[in-house]
Structure 1
């Protein structure tokens, strides 16, 4: 964690990207919950929402994840950094687990390969936001920049 930049200039952009990922999960979860209404909670039927397979369990999990990511966007600061950093590992691990259980009875979230790809891509985007979203007081940032290779030392005032 020592090499994570503090107050990166693109921090607001990365925070917005993670917020948009959260909005996507919210919209997907809501449309998935509507589409899977009346089905079993862990249904394996062909229920689709926003071009991804889903069931009620996965839809509610997506709503929860989206709400957490949007809350991180709204709160900002180091809370957003930690939510994005650890939330991304959940998305990446979920994508890899989805590959492992896709054609088995353990596929309780009714995932397809499209779900895996979306989870890995959005997990990577949220991880990037987590890595570059660390906030801190303005004093340590220039001090850390002096230790980075190929960067000029900050101007002294």
Structure 2
């Protein structure tokens, strides 16, 4: 699988930018969700909305944490962004699936709707994909990987 993770990909700045935008969206959602849901039960299933998506305090806190993690990792770089983007992206994909299964039950602890699940999939896909293409390494390592891909062992 490591041979499918390019080093110094030519579109790395684009993927870092997309991860940064995704992190900013998640952080903005978390801040607005926090402000909108103050005083509500942590896992409540009310009608509070932020950026058009339903939320509750638990979802707002989780979004704040994820947004800060993605932004800090993207700003630091040095392959920390690769690690964080892949794990946070996978977390968004898993959360979207779990909340879709629990959507119309009392176990919908993050107050998801179908729109929220779709946005979670979108954010997760962007972050996970960015994580696959932002790996950096020395020029020698990039050349060795390119030679391996072309079959010149």
TM-score (norm: length of structure 2): 0.94
Which residue does the alignment assign to 1:113? 114
Larger Rg: 1
Say if 2:101 is the partner of 1:100: yes
TM-score (norm: length of structure 1): 0.92
Report the CA distance between 1:87 and its aligned residue: 1.2
Partners of 2:17 and 2:78 lie apart in 1 by 12
Partners of 1:129 and 1:135 lie apart in 2 by 12
Q: Structure 1 stretches (4+) deviating beyond 6 angstroms?
A: none
Which residue does the alignment assign to 1:129? 130
- Answer 1 or 2: which has greater helix percent: 2
- Unaligned runs of 5+ residues in structure 1 are none
Which residue does the alignment assign to 1:13? 14
Which residue does the alignment assign to 1:68? 69
- Unaligned runs of 5+ residues in structure 2 are none
Q: How many residue pairs were aligned?
A: 151
Partners of 2:36 and 2:141 lie apart in 1 by 50
Say if 2:145 is the partner of 1:144: yes
Kept in 2: contact 1:53–1:110 (CA 8 A): yes
Kept in 2: contact 1:19–1:72 (CA 8 A): no
Partners of 1:33 and 1:85 lie apart in 2 by 25
3-state SS of 1:77 partner? coil
Report the CA distance between 1:142 and its aligned residue: 1.4
